[in-house]
Structure 1
Amino acid sequence: MVDTLVQDDLSLPFPILIADIGGTNARFAIVTDSNAEAKRFPQIKTADYDTLDAAIQDVVLDKTSIMPQTAVLAVAGPTSGDEIDLTNCDWVVRPRRLISERGFSRVIVLNDYEAQALAVVALDTDYLKPIGDGERVESASRVVIGPGTGLGVAGIVHGASTWIPVAGEGGHIDLGPQTERDYEIFPHVESIGGRVSGEQLLCGRGLVNLYRAVAAADGKQAPLSRPEDITAAALDGSDALAGEAVRFFVEYLGRIAGDMALVFMAQGGIYLTGGITQKILPLIDEDLFRQAFDNKEPHRQLLSEIPVYVVMHDQAPLEGLAAYARTPARFGVDIRQRVWSRP
Structure 2
Amino acid sequence: MALRRSGDALNFPILIGDIGGTNARFAILVDAYAEPKHFPIVQTADFENIDEAIQVSVLDKTSLRPQSAVLAVAGPIDGDEIDLTNCPWVVRPKVMIETLGISEIVVMNDFEAQALAISALKEESRTEIGGGIVREGASRAVLGPGTGLGVAGLVRARNMWIPVAGEGGHIDIGPRTSRDMEIWPHLTPIEGRISGEQVLCGRGLVNIYRAICTTKNVEPAYSTPASVTDAAIKKGDAEAEEAINLFATYLGRMAGDIALIFMARGGVFIAGGIFQRLIPVIKKEEVRSAFEDKAPHSALMKEIPLYVVTEPLAALVGLATFARTPRFFGLETTGRRWVA
The residue correspondences of 1:91-170 to structure 2 (distance < 5 A) are: 91-170=89-168
Give the equivalent residue in structure 1 for 2:207.
Answer: 209
The residue correspondences of 1:165-176 to structure 2 (distance < 5 A) are: 165-176=163-174
Give the equivalent residue in structure 2 for 1:265.
Answer: 263
Give the equivalent residue in structure 1 for 2:315.
Answer: 317
In the alignment, the residues of structure 2 paired with residue 190 and residue 55 of structure 1 have an alpha-carbon distance, to the nearest angstrom, of 34
In the alignment, the residues of structure 2 paired with residue 250 and residue 341 of structure 1 have an alpha-carbon distance, to the nearest angstrom, of 43
On the 8 A contact 1:20/1:75 being kept in 2, the answer is yes
The residue correspondences of 1:218-233 to structure 2 (distance < 5 A) are: 218-233=216-231
Give the equivalent residue in structure 2 for 1:329.
Answer: 327
- Between 1:89-98 and 1:224-233, the stretch displaced more is 89-98
After superposing on structure 2, the runs of 4+ consecutive aligned residues of structure 1 that deviate more than 6 Å are: none
Where 1:271 maps in the other structure, the secondary structure is strand
CA deviation profile, 1:92-149 (whole Å, cap 9, x unmatched): 2221122222221111111111111111112211101111111211211111111111
In the alignment, the residues of structure 2 paired with residue 245 and residue 261 of structure 1 have an alpha-carbon distance, to the nearest angstrom, of 24
Query: Against the structure 1 CA distance between its residues 220 and 114, is the aligned structure 2 distance closer, same or farther, given a 3 Å change threshold?
Result: same
Deviation at residue 281 of structure 1 after TM alignment: 1.6
Deviation at residue 63 of structure 1 after TM alignment: 2.6
Match of 1:14 among 12, 15, 18: 12
In the alignment, the residues of structure 1 paired with residue 126 and residue 249 of structure 2 have an alpha-carbon distance, to the nearest angstrom, of 20
Where 1:282 maps in the other structure, the secondary structure is coil
Q: Which amino acid aligns with 1:281?
A: I
CA deviation profile, 1:31-63 (whole Å, cap 9, x unmatched): 122222112122222222223222222222233
Give the equivalent residue in structure 2 for 1:5.
Answer: 4
The residue correspondences of 1:232-243 to structure 2 (distance < 5 A) are: 232-243=230-241
**TM-score scaled to structure 2, two decimals?**
0.95
The residue correspondences of 1:244-263 to structure 2 (distance < 5 A) are: 244-263=242-261
The residue correspondences of 1:54-93 to structure 2 (distance < 5 A) are: 54-93=52-91
Report the count of equivalent residues: 340
In the alignment, the residues of structure 1 paired with residue 250 and residue 150 of structure 2 have an alpha-carbon distance, to the nearest angstrom, of 15
Where 1:157 maps in the other structure, the secondary structure is strand
Deviation at residue 3 of structure 1 after TM alignment: 5.8
In the alignment, the residues of structure 2 paired with residue 315 and residue 62 of structure 1 have an alpha-carbon distance, to the nearest angstrom, of 22
Query: Against the structure 1 CA distance between its residues 71 and 202, is the aligned structure 2 distance closer, same or farther, given a 3 Å change threshold?
Result: same
On the 8 A contact 1:177/1:186 being kept in 2, the answer is yes
Query: RMSD value over aligned CA atoms?
Result: 1.6
Match of 2:32 among 30, 34, 41: 34
In the alignment, the residues of structure 1 paired with residue 213 and residue 62 of structure 2 have an alpha-carbon distance, to the nearest angstrom, of 53
Q: Which amino acid aligns with 2:46?
A: D
Query: Against the structure 1 CA distance between its residues 153 and 180, is the aligned structure 2 distance closer, same or farther, given a 3 Å change threshold?
Result: same
Where 2:285 maps in the other structure, the secondary structure is helix
Q: Which amino acid aligns with 1:25?
A: N
CA deviation profile, 1:284-329 (whole Å, cap 9, x unmatched): 2111001111011111111111111111111110000000000101
In the alignment, the residues of structure 2 paired with residue 162 and residue 10 of structure 1 have an alpha-carbon distance, to the nearest angstrom, of 14
In the alignment, the residues of structure 2 paired with residue 202 and residue 23 of structure 1 have an alpha-carbon distance, to the nearest angstrom, of 15
Where 1:122 maps in the other structure, the secondary structure is coil
Q: Which amino acid aligns with 2:229?
A: T
Q: Which amino acid aligns with 2:297?
A: H
Where 2:59 maps in the other structure, the secondary structure is helix
In the alignment, the residues of structure 2 paired with residue 117 and residue 79 of structure 1 have an alpha-carbon distance, to the nearest angstrom, of 16
On the 8 A contact 1:140/1:267 being kept in 2, the answer is yes
On the 8 A contact 2:256/2:294 being kept in 1, the answer is yes
On the 8 A contact 2:16/2:320 being kept in 1, the answer is yes
Q: Which amino acid aligns with 2:222?
A: L
In the alignment, the residues of structure 2 paired with residue 89 and residue 182 of structure 1 have an alpha-carbon distance, to the nearest angstrom, of 31
In the alignment, the residues of structure 2 paired with residue 196 and residue 87 of structure 1 have an alpha-carbon distance, to the nearest angstrom, of 18
In the alignment, the residues of structure 2 paired with residue 145 and residue 109 of structure 1 have an alpha-carbon distance, to the nearest angstrom, of 20
On the 8 A contact 2:86/2:148 being kept in 1, the answer is no
In the alignment, the residues of structure 2 paired with residue 126 and residue 108 of structure 1 have an alpha-carbon distance, to the nearest angstrom, of 29
In the alignment, the residues of structure 2 paired with residue 224 and residue 157 of structure 1 have an alpha-carbon distance, to the nearest angstrom, of 41
On the 8 A contact 2:117/2:315 being kept in 1, the answer is yes
Deviation at residue 193 of structure 1 after TM alignment: 3.5
Deviation at residue 4 of structure 1 after TM alignment: 4.9
